[in-house]
Structures are given as structure tokens and as C-alpha cells.
Amino acid sequence: MSDCNSFCNSTCHERSYYSWDASDYGPSPLILNINHDTLRNPSFRTTRWTGEHMQLTFMSIPVGYDIGTENHPSQDQYICIVDGDGVIYMGDSPYSLSYSHPLDNGCAVLIPANTWHNVINTGDRPLKIYCIYAPIVHLPETVHWTKRDSDLEK
């Protein structure tokens, strides 16, 4: 049995290893090297897979930037830090983010629906994360090349 790296390098959407592939592959089944693709993502946000009940996005948050204080009223969110350093703030309102925790490689954050939160890049390189939402938050095939693109969509 092969590991995901060798399988994905030889079988999965091979073109993404030579140039960034901003395609949303949902709702078809997908096998990918999630850490590799997260590290390669140059955009602020790209939806990689959108299904009927769940969505995977990659994010690259520039040094000193944040995702912006947000709340998903009926979606749970999972965030995994693949590379970089940051901090997460969470709370019951955008004016009371009373919980904070430093983030670095390998940290996983589970955010219940209707929890206000913000992730800030406190490191010296882009903060590379992937997020899983259930149910979906963004339109399929969403690509925000910059935070400004994301802010304009709100």
C-alpha cells in the first residue's frame, strides 16, 4: 500500500504541482496531499472542494494580516495550521473575544457555529492554513487572491 505522498504525486491532479490549480473539485471524491497543497496555495482563500454538506478551503494569510473577525451562524469550522505562527481570538460577540491562544504548525482549532473568531498572522512568513466548514460557507470555486478581494465580497 502506498502512502498519500507517492499516490498523490503520481495520481492526483498532477498539474497542480507545476502551477497553482485554483479548481474546486467538489463534489467528486478527491484524494490530495493536504499539507503540500496548503503550503503551495498563493491566494488569501481558495475553495478546493465543495460538497453538499462540507467544504475545504486553503488560506495564505500575509504577515501582519488577519482573516477578519467573523461568525458563521450555522456552520462549524475546523482550522489546521500547516505553517507559520499566529493567534486566534474567540468569543460570544465581535466586541468580546475573550479567549485567545497562540497557534503554530500542527495546531488544530475547532470552532462551534455562532462563535465569533479571528486569526491573526503574528509570524515572519505567510500563515498557511486549511479550513473545513460544515455546512459550506463560500460559493463553490471561490478564489480570493487578496484579503481585499475577500472583504469586498462581504
Alpha-carbon distance of 59 to 115, in angstroms, equals 20
Q: Which three cell numbers stand for residue 7?
A: 499516490
pTM summary value: 0.87
Domains and CATH numbers, the chain: 4-13+23-152 (2.60.120.10)
Burial per residue of 54-86, b for 16 or more beta-carbon CB atoms within 10 angstroms, e otherwise: bbbbbbbbeeebbbeebebeebbbebbbbbbbb
Assign 32 a pLDDT band (cuts: 50, 70, 90).
very high
Beta strands in 16-136 (DSSP E): 45-50, 55-61, 76-83, 86-91, 99-103, 108-111, 116-121, 127-134
pLDDT for the residue 4? 57
Alpha-carbon distance of 5 to 12, in angstroms, equals 10
For residues 124 and 63, is the Cβ–Cβ distance under 8 A?
A: yes
- pLDDT at 9 > cutoff 80: no
Give how far the C-alpha of residue 89 lies from the chain's centroid of Cα atoms, to the nearest Å.
16
pLDDT for the residue 5? 57
Assign 21 a pLDDT band (cuts: 50, 70, 90).
confident
